Structure 1
Amino acid sequence: MPHRLDGHKTFFSLPKEGLGGVGSAFGRLRVRTFVATRWLAIVGQAIAVLFVHFGLGFTLPLGLCLAAIALSAWLNVFLMLAFPSQRLASTPEAVAQFTFDILQVAFLIAITGGLENPFVLMIMAPVTIASISLDSRIAVGLALLALFCTATMWMFHMPLPSLPGETITVSPLLQVGQFCAVAIGLVFFAISSIRVTNDEARLVRALDAAQVVIAREQKLSALGALAAATAHELGTPLATIHLVAKEMAADLEDDDPHKEDARLLAEQADRCRSILRRLAQEREAGDILHARIQLSSLVEEAARPHKGRGKLVDIQTHAHEVAEDMSEPTLRRSPEILHALGAFIENAVSFADSYVSIESVWSNRIITITISDDGPGFSSTVLPKLGEPYISERSQKHAGGGDMGLGFFIAKTLIEQSGGEIATFNQAEPDTGAVVRLRWERAALEAETTWSAHETGLQDLST
């Protein structure tokens, strides 16, 4: 809404949405969406009424029809004046608007034939939109309201529009069929919309959680760079302090009690400069090593936190039998891949009875990491849904580390964003246990083979 600032400039205050993330905004409609949809309905209703009355010459209560349409139009005008168009409607506001739309359509149909009017199916439109955007219990309530209005039309309705002097008679059986069609349609569209919306809402919330995980991993990775930048920035003021302290010590007499203090200040400032210089050098030199990691080291780093949980974690790394290059691949360090691998290994350790195997294999083009355990394996009912948000992989009572449904989804998302693929299956009988296999193109993970001090920013900071 526009406001005056200092009596001169106009500024616009955006409405506070109260959103904590992507998931909290899902399913909420903006005022402009309600207004635009209602204008579309108003135009359609007006065209239909005017065409039937003036185009076909049918008799119908034109005044009542136009009054119902005008009431809907005035509601739109009020909403456009009272609220910013980009404002997200609250749940009570959305319920009130959907209720109005249902009652307005029900009244318009009732005065133009009720269940005899083939347009009675239009009463399902507000319920379908509500099922997409509102809680399922509220959507069911609106569906029951629409069904009640439809049933009321059986007893209270005006004649179906017809030519002057003629009466169109619709058999009661056909009216019952119309009511059943509306009832079935309401149930079908409401349930379908609710299922689709719930699935999408879970996906959005899970992606929101994945973004939080990625941001945390990237923040941790950036701490070292921040420390190096801090050391660089502090170098100049410490050099100034060191210089001023040395000049003060040189100007003071030998027997002056402050000469020793000035000399000590210069020595400590120089010591601080040396410490910061060493930190910066170690950080920049370490960037080269930290940014590159061998395949076996990557797996070992991901598995290290889970080795002390009472299960044997066996790690094997070797070249595939068809590989021509037998040297172990050196990969780009990726916090996302490390987090995803850790999540899969944690899941395997949680469900394993005593043993977890991690096998890393490379060929000329492919890198594969296979994580398997000797636990109960994936259940046949869950395996087709594995990777969906909030779907537990196996029996909850078997999980020493808790449910990993969301964690599995986040890990799967991170692997796919890095260019990898995931396969999940159970071990072949008589063995038991689950298997998670990760696969990448080698070129997608492998680090560059040539590094230079200029490319990595490594400089001689000894001066």
Structure 2
Amino acid sequence: MVSSPLSDQIFANRQIKLDTLVRLRWLAILGQTLAVVFVWLGLGYDFEAVLCLALVGLSGWLNFYLHFQFQKSVRLSSLQATVLLAYDSAQLGGLLYLTGGLQNPFAFLLLVPAVVSATTQPARFTIVLASLITGIATLLVFFHQPLPWTGGTPPDLPVLYVAGIWIAVILTMLFMSVYAFRIAQERHLLANALSATELVLANEQHLSNLDGLATAAAHELGTPLATIQLVAKELERELERDDPIREDIVLLRSQAERCKDILGKLRSLSGDEHNNFTKMRITALISEIVEPFDLFGVEIIQTFPDDLSNQPVLWRNPGLLYGLGNLIENAVDFAQSCVEIRARWTDNGVSLRISDDGPGFADAIRNRLGDPYVTTRATKNTNEPDTANRGPAHVPPGNALNAGGLGLGFFIAKTLLERSGAKVSIANKDTQQEARTAKKDHEISGAVIDIYWPRAALEADQ
């Protein structure tokens, strides 16, 4: 568990509610009360039961104070939550001091505050709390009241056994804290990345719907413009040629006609003769995606089968457009001089390969690509969203694993393409050659991204 600015930013938006800690403490109070009363009255063991109940009552008073002093919806800062969890650790340490220290089988409850902190707080606060719990456990090895036992004579446990319990408590706390922290961090990262994906897809969907909105606007405005044009014609006929108002009427009619022509063009966007705005052949779709990158100084080669008669017809899916555009932009960014886009299709499937002559995928991130926040791009300010970094794909070896950017580009592209039914895989051009020639030194000779769709899931007429 390593503290980092990224983890701090992630957990800063995941502040725990005060009501959650209060409810957890009520559960602990109930369990502690039942345990003390059962051992004291049920088993008849002699120990400082009154002091134990006083410590339990102190926690109950604190819960009542927090309940009536603050609203349930209050979210605690990391420091406030750590202070409350530290109190819980100290209170449990006091109970264990009165009931045998680490010899008490309930000593493992010391792990609970650390695990709660690891799930909801930045790493540095969990480290502080774990250090406090370690100190409490160490003190309990040497300072504690006798373990409650029948007849008042508890067993004399060997020092080595008690030391083993101490080691077990500390190691279990560390393991569970690190495990809980990593699971929570990955869940938060994935949730944030999926939110970014949904936002990108929504924006692309809005752009895709603009032609429909334009058609609707043209339809609604057509009638009033026709009325204006008709009235202007009537006024123009009735006015004398030398009337000063006639020139304004002529201008009004001409501008109304111009507006009518513009609306006619907008209305035609969704017409049958402009089906490229709803569905298009795969060759046209790829050409449209590639067009914005033709001015980047990198040659983009599009390769299709000789027979184009059976090519797929695709819906103009915003997610598909954004995902493929993302990968092509990334290939252009890292290519030396050439990017090749090769499309193939059969009656059962459609495959697309995007390759370049750049440095290829770095070994350090090749197995992690597709996870959110994996990037090797360097940005000027890593605290700002890297909107330009739409694909942290392949970089020269030796670059830092997280030099900059959010690393969401490839994740978003892969997620959007997989939603369209695709399977995405990555490799370097020389991977297969290396497998055949074991003596050859490793040389990265370009990145390759293979995408495959079942044809039935991709075609527009399905």
Distance 1:370 1:284 in 2: 33
Report the AA paired with residue 143 of structure 1. A
Question: Quick one: structure 1 residues 71 and 229, their matched pair in 2 at CA, closer, same or farther if it must change by over 3 Å?
Answer: farther
Q: 1:195 aligns with which of 182, 196, 205?
A: 182
Report the AA paired with residue 453 of structure 2. W
Q: TM-score, normalised by structure 2?
A: 0.81
Give how far 1:243 is off.
Answer: 5.7
Give how far 1:404 is off.
Answer: 8.7
Distance 2:130 2:273 in 1: 63
Give how far 1:290 is off.
Answer: 1.1
Give how far 1:363 is off.
Answer: 0.7
Distance 1:195 1:352 in 2: 35
Distance 1:240 1:64 in 2: 91
Q: 1:154-193, aligned counterparts within 5 Å?
A: 154-193=141-180
Greater mean deviation of Cα atoms: 237-246 or 194-203? 237-246
Q: Do 1:23 and 1:208's aligned partners in 2 also have CA atoms closer than 8 Å?
A: no
Residue 66 of structure 2: aligned partner: 79
Distance 1:404 1:429 in 2: 33
2:458 is equivalent to residue 436 of structure 1: no
Q: Report the 3-state secondary structure (helix = DSSP H, G, I; strand = E; otherwise coil) of the residue aligned with 2:305.
A: strand
Report the AA paired with residue 137 of structure 1. R
Residue 333 of structure 2: aligned partner: 350
| CA offsets 1:36-69 (integer angstroms, 9 cap, x no match) | 2222222221221111112211122222222222
Question: Quick one: structure 1 residues 247 and 107, their matched pair in 2 at CA, closer, same or farther if it must change by over 3 Å?
Answer: farther
Residue 395 of structure 2: aligned partner: 395
Residue 224 of structure 1: aligned partner: 211
**Structure 1 unmatched runs, 5+:** 1-21, 450-463
Residue 43 of structure 1: aligned partner: 30
Q: Do 1:388 and 1:409's aligned partners in 2 also have CA atoms closer than 8 Å?
A: yes
Q: Do 1:319 and 1:363's aligned partners in 2 also have CA atoms closer than 8 Å?
A: no
Q: 1:321-332, aligned counterparts within 5 Å?
A: 326-332=309-315
Q: 1:295 aligns with which of 282, 299, 303?
A: 282
Residue 141 of structure 1: aligned partner: 128
Residue 5 of structure 1: aligned partner: none
Question: Quick one: structure 1 residues 332 and 388, their matched pair in 2 at CA, closer, same or farther if it must change by over 3 Å?
Answer: same
| CA offsets 1:249-274 (integer angstroms, 9 cap, x no match) | 67878886546545654554454344
Q: 1:304-453, aligned counterparts within 5 Å?
A: 304-318=291-305, 326-392=309-375, 393-396=393-396, 405-427=407-429, 428-429=432-433, 432-448=445-461
Residue 96 of structure 2: aligned partner: 109
Distance 2:332 2:245 in 1: 65
Q: Report the 3-state secondary structure (helix = DSSP H, G, I; strand = E; otherwise coil) of the residue aligned with 1:382.
A: helix
Q: Do 1:128 and 1:189's aligned partners in 2 also have CA atoms closer than 8 Å?
A: yes
Distance 2:421 2:163 in 1: 57
Q: How many residues align?
A: 422
Report the AA paired with residue 28 of structure 2. A
Report the AA paired with residue 423 of structure 2. E
Question: Quick one: structure 1 residues 384 and 221, their matched pair in 2 at CA, closer, same or farther if it must change by over 3 Å?
Answer: same
Distance 2:251 2:30 in 1: 86
Question: Quick one: structure 1 residues 436 and 181, their matched pair in 2 at CA, closer, same or farther if it must change by over 3 Å?
Answer: same
Distance 1:417 1:25 in 2: 30
The percentage of aligned residue pairs carrying the same residue is 38
Question: Quick one: structure 1 residues 141 and 226, their matched pair in 2 at CA, closer, same or farther if it must change by over 3 Å?
Answer: same
Q: Report the 3-state secondary structure (helix = DSSP H, G, I; strand = E; otherwise coil) of the residue aligned with 1:438.
A: strand
Q: 1:91 aligns with which of 64, 78, 86?
A: 78
Greater mean deviation of Cα atoms: 348-357 or 35-44? 348-357
Distance 1:395 1:238 in 2: 56
Report the AA paired with residue 106 of structure 1. G
Give how far 1:144 is off.
Answer: 0.3
Give how far 1:341 is off.
Answer: 1.1
Q: Do 1:293 and 1:332's aligned partners in 2 also have CA atoms closer than 8 Å?
A: yes
Distance 2:418 2:12 in 1: 25
Q: Do 1:368 and 1:439's aligned partners in 2 also have CA atoms closer than 8 Å?
A: yes
Q: Report the 3-state secondary structure (helix = DSSP H, G, I; strand = E; otherwise coil) of the residue aligned with 2:150.
A: coil
| CA offsets 1:122-157 (integer angstroms, 9 cap, x no match) | 101110110111101111111001111111223332
Distance 2:98 2:298 in 1: 74
2:27 is equivalent to residue 55 of structure 1: no
Q: Report the 3-state secondary structure (helix = DSSP H, G, I; strand = E; otherwise coil) of the residue aligned with 2:415.
A: helix
Give how far 1:111 is off.
Answer: 1.4
Question: Quick one: structure 1 residues 384 and 188, their matched pair in 2 at CA, closer, same or farther if it must change by over 3 Å?
Answer: same
Q: 1:31 aligns with which of 13, 18, 29?
A: 18
Greater mean deviation of Cα atoms: 164-173 or 34-43? 164-173
Give how far 1:327 is off.
Answer: 1.5
Question: Quick one: structure 1 residues 316 and 249, their matched pair in 2 at CA, closer, same or farther if it must change by over 3 Å?
Answer: closer
The Cα RMSD (Å) is 3.1
Give how far 1:160 is off.
Answer: 1.3
Report the AA paired with residue 221 of structure 2. L
Greater mean deviation of Cα atoms: 172-181 or 383-392? 383-392
Distance 1:404 1:178 in 2: 43
Q: Report the 3-state secondary structure (helix = DSSP H, G, I; strand = E; otherwise coil) of the residue aligned with 1:385.
A: coil
Report the AA paired with residue 342 of structure 1. G
Question: Quick one: structure 1 residues 157 and 33, their matched pair in 2 at CA, closer, same or farther if it must change by over 3 Å?
Answer: same
Q: Do 1:58 and 1:161's aligned partners in 2 also have CA atoms closer than 8 Å?
A: yes
Report the AA paired with residue 192 of structure 2. R
Q: Do 2:361 and 2:396's aligned partners in 1 also have CA atoms closer than 8 Å?
A: no
2:226 is equivalent to residue 213 of structure 1: no
Report the AA paired with residue 377 of structure 1. G
Give how far 1:347 is off.
Answer: 2.5
